[in-house]
Amino acid sequence: MTTFLIIAVIFTCIAALVGTLLVGKDISAKMKEYETEGDTLENEIARSHEYESKSISVNIKSLSWIYIVLILVVIFVSIGILLY
């Protein structure tokens, strides 16, 4: 039972890491796309506004869910190990 719980935590941590990397990759892809569009003042202002209004809220929500699940699994496993 303990081994199963530890394996569950390890897989959950790996999934959280992969999810975090995917969010980072998405941000990097958007930054490269912005660089290819050019550096006019209007483009920079539009990108800044878009990033502040959309990207942060989406990324924060995604990362929050990833780490909430991670924390819940770790708590569950910790309680399981203590009770076992």
pLDDT in tens, 10-34: 888 899 899 899 988 988 888 788 7
Establish how many alpha carbons lie within 13 A of residue 47's alpha carbon, considering only the half-sphere containing its beta carbon: 16
User: Domain boundaries in the chain?
Assistant: 2-83
Rounded CA-CA distance 17/37 in Å is 31
> Whole-model pTM above 0.75?
no
For residue 73, pLDDT over 80 is answered with yes
Three-state secondary structure readout of 37-82 = HCCCHHHHHHHHHHHHHHHHHHHHHHHHHHHHHHHHHHHHHHHHHH
